Amino acid sequence: MKLSIFVILILIASLHATELIKPIPTDSITNKQKVALGKKLFFDARLSKDDTISCNSCHDVAYNGADKTALSFGVDGQAGQLNSPTLFNALYNIAQFWDGRASDLKEQVKGPLFNHVEMATNEKELVNKLSQDKKYVNLFFQIYGDAINLNNISDAIAEFEKTLITPNSKFDLFLKGDLQQLSQQEKEGYKLFKNFGCVSCHNGVNIGSNMFQKFGIFAKYDEREENLGRYNVTKDENDKYYFKVPTLRNITKTSPYFHNGSVEKLENAIKIMGYYQLGKVLSNEEITSLALFLKTLDGELP
């Protein structure tokens, strides 16, 4: 017997009411002029000390918003200490960087600019360099009514980064009511995702990135681990080895995984998460189902 439209609407409403994961909104509001300027700056290697590194060098927006290597390389070929997290959907993060030291995108911009391993510039040098470009001078004055300064540089780049969202994944469409989007095995993977407790940390619009969690709840993941995570910001002993929970959106494209980029394959990352975060030894069948579900989180590239 066919269900009435009224009953179907009630079921969909019930689904939304009980879900801990939310679809990406498609109506984000940005300033188009600032976005265009921010995009120009994002791809401009002149923002680095030696004119070799742009924001896009470590956050490839044509691919995954992150880097393809475990660690990124800045000026003079210096290697960073952590894996570059994706900028896709970073608008929805509780904070920026693995340790959450930047409260928002605008503050995050300044980190790589002044980090001696990454872009290695300073405020005076950066402003002076961009001020030599008449096109930039005119654009900043038209948009901000002011000369080029650090506040406006970071504001424009952050405005561009707000547009780097990946909506309309299969799972988003499923959440919006198109229950045929997922195969039976993908649905089984989502069921395991909830039953095992993965969703307790990976939830919200970004399916993660809205809390900090200890890496290695049931056992220490790496005895050689030197990065203390959130502790570096708070100096609270209880925050040692806590990192921002990464987003699972577009996870199939953001290998290598974890804060140190130590794992290449998604299936291996799932196995490790099961053991160290959930205290479970996952079967190959369970890992396959979970991986299939995670692939439904790939959205439309910006």
List, by residue number, the catalytic residues.
118
Q: Kindly tell me the sign of the dihedral angle through the C-alpha atoms of 253, 257, 262, 263.
A: negative
Q: What is the DSSP letter of 249?
A: T
User: Which two structure tokens, joined as six digits, stand for 69?
Assistant: 């290597």
Question: Which residues neighbour 142 within 8 Å (Cβ) at sequence distance 6 or greater?
Answer: 33
Which alpha helices (DSSP H) does the chain contain, by range? 5-18, 32-42, 55-58, 105-114, 123-130, 134-144, 150-161, 170-175, 184-195, 231-234, 266-278, 284-295
For tokens 């956050």, the residue is 59
Maximum pairwise Cα distance, the chain: 72
Q: How far apart, in whole angstroms, are the C-alpha atoms of residue 107 and residue 71?
A: 22
